[in-house]
């Protein structure tokens, strides 16, 4: 069975500043995220989360100094054979990456051959977002709100592996960019 995972990561927008500082901070954010994504493996063990899954383009380094409205969007996506059975092992890899990136919102869609499209969303709460925008050096969010149901993936895991997955894994504290 084919499974398609796709979505986007919306970078934060360092607006409400003088134009030069805004462009400088937005460029720093984009370079920060590009370094993190470049650090991903070219190949990863199953279930894979790898560099080619993400596409980084454009942004505030475009000619004329203009970028995307309110920050850049990093699209991602891939086609897999029945990854839904192991999605609960893939999700901690994805959330570990989110702990290293600068972002304000992430929307992920999962489309399988036998279910409606499923949508998961991560959003940085307003107070955390404000703190993140003022942090120097730039720092990823330390917490977020999650919406969407994982019930389908628990069922898929149990059907494929003939045993329950267990409780959702607890994520480790965020790593700092300097602590890699």
pTM, rounded to two decimals? 0.86
The rounded distance, in Å, linking the Cα atoms of 29 and 7 is: 20
Confidence tier at 167 by pLDDT (50, 70, 90): low
Q: Decide if pLDDT at 161 tops 90.
A: no
pLDDT of residue 87: 93
Quote the number of domains for the chain: 1
Q: Decide if pLDDT at 178 tops 60.
A: no
The rounded distance, in Å, linking the Cα atoms of 156 and 165 is: 10
Which of left, alpha, beta for 59 (phi over 0: left; psi -120 to 50: alpha)? left
Are the C-beta atoms of 128 and 141 separated by less than 8 Å?
Answer: yes
Q: What is the pLDDT of residues 58-105, one digit of tens each?
A: 655 555 445 467 788 999 999 999 898 899 999 999 999 999 999 999
Q: What is the pLDDT of residues 126-150, one digit of tens each?
A: 999 999 999 899 999 999 999 999 9
The rounded distance, in Å, linking the Cα atoms of 116 and 19 is: 44
Are the C-beta atoms of 3 and 110 separated by less than 8 Å?
Answer: yes
What number of CA atoms fall less than 13 Å from residue 110's CA on the CB side?
A: 25
The range of the structural domain enclosing residue 10 comes to 2-179
The rounded distance, in Å, linking the Cα atoms of 174 and 180 is: 11
Q: What is the pLDDT of residues 2-52, one digit of tens each?
A: 999 999 999 998 887 888 888 889 889 999 999 999 999 999 999 999 999
């Amino acid at each position: 069975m084919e499974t398609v995972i796709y979505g986007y990561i919306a970078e934060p927008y360092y607006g409400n500043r003088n134009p030069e500082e805004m462009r400088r901070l937005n460029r720093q954010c984009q370079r920060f995220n590009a370094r993190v994504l470049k650090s991903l493996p070219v190949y990863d063990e199953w279930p894979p989360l790898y560099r080619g899954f993400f596409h980084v383009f454009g942004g505030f380094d475009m000619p004329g100094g203009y970028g995307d409205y309110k920050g850049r969007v990093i699209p991602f996506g891939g086609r897999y054979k029945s990854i839904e059975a192991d999605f609960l092992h893939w999700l901690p890899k994805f959330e570990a990456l989110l702990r290293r990136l600068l972002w304000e919102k992430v929307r992920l869609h999962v489309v399988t051959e036998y279910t409606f499209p499923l949508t998961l969303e991560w959003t940085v709460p307003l107070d955390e977002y404000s703190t993140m925008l003022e942090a120097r050096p730039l720092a990823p969010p330390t917490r977020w709100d999650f919406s969407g149901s994982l019930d389908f993936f628990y069922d898929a895991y149990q059907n494929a592996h003939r045993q329950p997955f267990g409780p959702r894994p607890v994520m480790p504290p965020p790593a700092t960019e300097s602590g890699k």
